[in-house]
Amino acid sequence: MGLAIWVAGVAIAGDVGAWWPLALCWGAELLNEGLDRLRNGDWRWRDTLGDIINSVLWPTILFVLARGGLI
């Protein structure tokens, strides 16, 4: 879901290197994990870290590559 949020933001911004689509992606993921924490009553670190990595890894990599001028 994080990649879809980021792609939508990049489509609106028109720039892969724009910071706000990445911030929106991270913010949505952290909000999701916070809500999971409230629902579960405690942190399930294996699930939490796996969810964060799966949601923001590729948007972050693509952002860094774009800012570095590689894409």
Find the domain containing 14 and state its range.
Answer: 2-67
Kindly report the length of the chain: 71
Pair of tokens at residue 43: 């942190």
Helix axes 19-40, 45-67, angle to 10 degrees: 180
Q: How many CA atoms lie within 13 A of 28 on its CB side?
A: 16
pLDDT digits (tens, 9 = 90+) for 2-60: 999 999 999 999 999 999 999 999 999 999 999 999 999 998 999 999 999 999 999 99
The total domain count for the chain is 1
Predicted TM-score (pTM) of this structure: 0.89
